[in-house]
Amino acid sequence: MTDEPRDGSGEAGPDPDPPGAARPADGPPGGDDSGTRHDGSHHDGSHQDGNCHDGSCHDRGRHGGTRHDAAHDDGPAASRLTGRAVVAERRLSAALAEVTLDGGQVVMVKRGDAPGAVRAEAAGLAWLAEARAVRVPAVRGHDAHRLVIDRVAEGRPDARAALRFGRDLAALHAAGAPAFGAPPPGGPEEAYIGRAPMRNVPGDDWPSWYAAHRVLPYLRRAVDEGVLRPAEAAEIEGVLERLPDLAGPAEPPARLHGDLWNGNVLWGADGRVWLIDPAAHGGHRETDLAMLRLFGCPHLDRVLAGYQEAAPLADGWRDRIGLHQLFPLLVHAVLFGRGYAEQALAAARGAPA
């Protein structure tokens, strides 16, 4: 690709577990189905290869819907936001366009209308890039409703890139955050994960913060919408009450991608892994890894091997995977229904006694 963003770093070691469970058939893995990947496939307006983790769509264009009558404005918007003339435009979806600028650089123009959504994503990309670890597309400009980022030229997954990705992801997490729940600098408190609102409210204690701001809001909404029965929700609440004993050794806040499912992992033609569509915030590093495992990822055993080599996980981390998956599963439950609610309940029931 042209004008590649900041360099990545890291290299890392071992954990031969296979990828996690596939999602149920009742809905996509996150966000809405109105957006697409960089090439027009679905997920959040900026993926490119035409595939979600199972061929469905997560939410590329994810920020609260789009204005279909404004689609033809993306070329002029790209010119205005980058200061460069547009020589070609290819519409990939209602929310996404691929635009070629004067000089040959190709960028993606995403649109999102929910208040603060574009600002949150732009701030998240900048914060991840600041760590100089995992690569992310450079932000070329944005306003209230449009984000212009570099297009990533994609290649194929391979074990060597996966190992390096694990090392780079460990370096990203080690870059840290001011607090659990801290938003990226310049990012709004009211952010999003897919179509779902996500509040970035800082806290000092991971178990209490995770319960209050990452699990309970979606659990309550799932009950209100009839996706979970009150008695089932009580089972999950019981696990949350035990989180201080289940969470493992205390760790400092990590710099999380925050929506790290396989569809947000691009295997670049340059042999490196790139991340897109963050819901970035300060959190526990095991949460990113648990979500990567939830929907599967090519060469996940090599990714985890690289991570373990660079920054070994605390003993018992495998037993905590389900705890960290409660958050994304309940987000999916409120967006896509009962199948994910049942998975969340199973994760809670699988918590150590």
Confidence bin at 286 (pLDDT 50/70/90): very high
Mean pLDDT across the chain, nearest whole number?
83
Closest CA relative to residue 341, chosen from 27, 63, 19, 20: 27
pLDDT at 6 exceeding the cut of 50 = no
The one-letter code for the residue type at 176 is G
pLDDT of residue 64: 39
- The pLDDT of 277-304, averaged and rounded, is 96
pTM: 0.82
pLDDT of residue 5: 31
| Greatest pairwise CA separation for the chain in angstroms | 61
- The pLDDT of 169-179, averaged and rounded, is 98
Confidence bin at 72 (pLDDT 50/70/90): low
Query: Taking CA 259 as the corner, what is the angle to CA 140 and CA 125, rounded to the nearest 5 degrees?
Result: 20
Query: Which alpha helices (H) appear in 66-116, and where do they start and end?
Result: 74-82
Q: Is 128 exposed, middle or buried (0-12, 13-18, 19+ CB in 10 A)?
A: buried
Q: Contact at 8 Å (CB) between 266 and 278?
A: no
Q: Contact at 8 Å (CB) between 271 and 159?
A: no
> What are the catalytic residues?
259
pLDDT at 132 exceeding the cut of 70 = yes
Percent of the chain with pLDDT over 90: 73
